[in-house]
Structure 1
Amino acid sequence: MIIADGIIALATIALAILFALNSVEIWHIYLLMFIRSLAGGFHGNSMAASTSLMVPKEHLTRIQGINQMLNGGLNIVAAPLGALLIELLPMQGILAIDVVTAAFAIVPLFFFAVPQPERIEQGQLQGVGKPSVWQDFLSGLRYMLGWPGLMMIALMAVLINFLLTPAFSLLPLLVKDYFGGEALQLGWINSAFGVGIIIGGLLLGVWGGFKRKIMTSMMGLVGMGVGTLLLSQVPPTGIYLAVGAALITGIMQPIVNGPIFAVMQSTVAPDMQARIFSLLSSMASGMSPIGLIIAGPISDKMGIQTWYLIGGSLCILMAFIGLMIPAVMNIEDRAIQQNETPPDGPIAAPLPGD
């Protein structure tokens, strides 16, 4: 995490210097933002993997709920705060604030011990040495493929991103072309979604979900599908109903995501978690642009609300199918010992308990 945050800070410093010298080019921005995103992926997955080593398993869902709530709050505050800073400061000054916040993230890690899982790699057992990045990738892939429940959840995450990323990307067109609204109405819907995330995260943090976490996620997926489906059925004069539908969808997002992360943190072997989280995020994010490519022509030919109808209906269907698949519903029954190492090294497929 220290290295990832450090790379993010260095990329930001480089961009700030370019702005200060008035020599920034568009390709500089693309390159440095790519570096920031790449490092951010390492940071996020490392943080998620470290959480399971510090938090008791019975509290993982609540912690995820709090994280979702904080992210929702940041999403609400970020846009108006960013607009204010743009009015008050030059771009290099705004980027300097980002560097300072990165320092706040890095410095505490030098003073607080973060538990590290013991890694016994197959190559080390055979005296070959430390495995390559490619071998790490293969070990995570084989681990996932050898566990049907985890693989099914990964496929569901991919499909959810495929369906819902275009839906939210199309919101400006939905507001303008269907509801006849403007920036204010779009702001209402986005704010309702952000407030919903805060409410859902707070609810999950206090409640903790059902005893079987995967049941909580499936019920949340039904609710998210209902909210998205409602957006497809609202009449052109029902902008306030659309705001309500966005609120429902926002509330359900932490209910879906929080328990899923808690399940993986409590069942996936600690030394494999960062690899599994990386695979999941890569697979899910990779489907988002494909969804956008397909959703655009469909919305042009069949109406923009068609994609909301498709996305909401399939989310509901997916949740009920998940409830009927034993490998998914019994995923939490797979007990993982904290120091477990597969007999043939980590690239061997795990023994699924589901």
Structure 2
Amino acid sequence: MNNSTTKKLSVFYTIWIGQLVSLFGTAMTRFAVIVWAYQQTNTVMTLGWLGFFGYVPYILTSPIAGVLIDRWDRRKILIITDGLAGFITIFMLIQFLTGNLAIWHLFLAEGLTSVLEAFQIPAFNASITLLVNKKDYTRANSLFSIANDAAKIFAPIFGGLLLSMSNLSTIFAVDIVTFLIAMLTLLFIRIPQLKSRQLSHLSISGWWNENSEAARFIKDRKGLLAILLVYLNINFFAALTYFCILPALILARTGGDQFALGTVQGFLGIGGLIGGIILAIWGGPKKKVYGFLFATGASFLFGDFLFATGQNIIIWSIGAFVSTIFIPLINSNSLAIWQLKVPPDMQGRVFALRSMGQTAVMPIGFLLGGWLADNVFEPLFKQPSPFFNWFSPIVGSGPGAGMGFMFLITCLFGFLTAIVGFASSAVRNIESDLPDFDFSEPIVNPISSD
């Protein structure tokens, strides 16, 4: 390993450590906010609206963010977004301490945070290709999954502990400290930039032409477009149940037991953490698309089925573990394919449009999930009917049974999404049909220049 490669990996790991700390604070805050919001309103729709405001601004901002990511220093983008996210948490802390915190403040904070994530996530993903060798993209992506899932494990535990000993103000304060740590790690590193994107190949005719170029790039490569559509379906079904109603299902079936919710969310993190560690050691399958599709089918088939049928903390915890152990394989392999097929000087815009496309239906999933739970399926399982008689032996009865039935639906359709992906030659053959990018672009501020 030469000196330049060593320095690049050092930068990557520095960024990764900072993001690990930041993700912990964010996950702890989101856990506490979900509990607080559900306790204030006792409706699933509140969680649906939180998800809605967490994605709509992200989707709308992505085309603007992608162009700027390709123009600007990606390190500065990460620093600025971390700093602004810290100010949002400070605002929440002030509202809580003055007794003015309301549900609409949570919606506002989620919306503003999602705008920042529209810059932060594609900027981080695009930076990986400039810091890591091609053969290690899946492994590098899995490390980010490890950070995310480690936060899922410890954030609910510490969040629940701090809530029992204190209140939301302590959670917000810890979150602010984690943002500061993440910013400090970024101040002392440097991420390479592509000279061509800074200078000669920039479009001067505006945002529309810049994004049109990226959109045509995806459209002209049927494999990328097809895998984008597969992921869109994954995210829709995940938003409908996994992201939207899972906390409400656990709280409804346990009479509001925060410990049960924290335990299940902890196992969500444990599954993802173990899956990420396995993938980081292994490096992933040679045929990345097969790993992506197999993991998708397995996660929905086993995880969602156990959430649907389980009625105690043990079954839910097993379901959480089984569901998320496959998620690093889904995310890391899918992202690695894009990183291999998209030239680095276009990755900011293409990754932003990819994120926008993949998440476009998630706000609908959140709102539809909350509405269906409150107004359709929960009422259906409160009184005897032919529908009740058919499905109550599978999903039970009483509070939470209707949400369990919704998981049964996503179990089926999520699994079918993977089957359709395998049946599509554009998806199945994407790695052989599309060439990898030719990394021959000149670099501004290369890391080895010091």
In the alignment, structure 1 residue 309 sits paired with structure 2 residue 383: no
Unaligned runs of 5+ in 2: 1-77, 381-386, 388-401, 443-450
Give CA-to-partner distance per residue, 1:146-198, whole Å, 9 cap, x none. 21111111111111111122222222454466688844444443222221111
Select the residue among 136, 143, 154 that pairs with 1:59: 136
The 8 Å contact of residues 118 and 339 in structure 1, kept in 2 or not, is answered as: no
**Distance in 1, Cα, partners of 2:306 & 2:377:** 14
Structure 2 residue 103 is matched with structure 1 residue 4: no
How far the C-alpha of 1:86 sits from its partner, in A, is 5.1
Q: Distance in 2 between the 1:80 and 1:155 partners?
A: 36
Decide which of 268, 276, 287 is 1:201's aligned counterpart: 276
In 1, the alpha carbon distance for the partners of 2:417 and 2:264 equals 25
Are residues 1:336 and 2:437 paired?
A: yes
* TM superposition score normalised by structure 2: 0.65
Residue type of the partner of 2:271? G
2:300 to 225, 239, 248: 225
What is the rounded CA distance, in whole Å, between the counterparts of 2:208 and 2:166 in structure 1?
A: 43
Residue among 104, 108, 115 paired with 2:192: 115
* Aligned mates of 2:171, 2:90 — CA distance in 1: 11
- Alignment of 1:82 onto 2:159: yes
Q: CA RMSD in A?
A: 3.2
Cα contact 2:86–2:176 (8 A) shared by 1: yes
Aligned to 1:299: 377
The structural deviation recorded for 1:246 is 2.1
Q: Say which SS state the counterpart of residue 304 (structure 1) adopts.
A: helix
* 1:322 has 2:396 as partner: no
Cα shift at 1:17:
5.5
The AA in structure 2 aligned to 1:210 is: P
Shift in Å, 1:304: 3.0
Supply the distance in 2 between the matched residues of 1:182 and 1:97 (Cα, whole angstroms).
24
Equivalent position of 1:214 in the other structure: 289
Question: Is the 1:5–1:40 Cα contact (8 Å) retained in structure 2?
Answer: no
What amino acid is aligned across from residue 44 of structure 1 in structure 2?
I
Q: Shift in Å at residue 61 of structure 1?
A: 1.0
CA distance in 2, matches of 1:250, 1:290: 23
Give the letter for the 1:63 counterpart. A
Q: Which moved more, 1:251-260 or 1:83-92?
A: 83-92
1:161 counterpart residue number: 235
**Identical aligned pairs, as a percentage?**
28
Structure 1 residues 19, 190: closer, same or farther in 2, change over 3 A? closer
Query: 1:249: which partner in 2?
Result: 323
Structure 2 CA distance for aligned equivalents of residues 235 and 111 of structure 1? 48
One-letter identity of the residue aligned with 1:81: F
SS in 1 for 2:193: coil
1:234-276 residue CA offsets vs partner (Å, 9 max, x unmatched): 365x653343222110111111111111111122111222222
> Counterpart in 2 of 1:344?
none
- Once the two structures are superposed, residues 200-253 of structure 1 have per-residue CA deviations (whole angstroms, 9 ceiling, x without a partner) of 1111111122111111111111211222352266365x6533432221101111
Structure 1 pair 243–136 and aligned structure 2 pair: CA distance change class (3 A): same
Give distance in 2, aligned partners of 1:9 and 1:241. Answer: 37
The alpha-carbon deviation at position 111 of structure 1 amounts to 2.9
The 2-side partners of 1:304 and 1:186 are apart by: 15
Q: Which residue of 2 aligns with 1:138?
A: 212
Change (3 A) 1:240 1:83: closer
Q: CA deviation at 1:2?
A: 2.3
Unaligned runs of 5+ in 1: 342-354
- Taking the aligned partners of 1:114 and 1:51, their CA distance within structure 2 comes to 9
Letter in 2 for 1:53: L
Q: Would the aligned equivalents of 2:96 and 2:168 in 1 still touch at CA under 8 Å?
A: yes
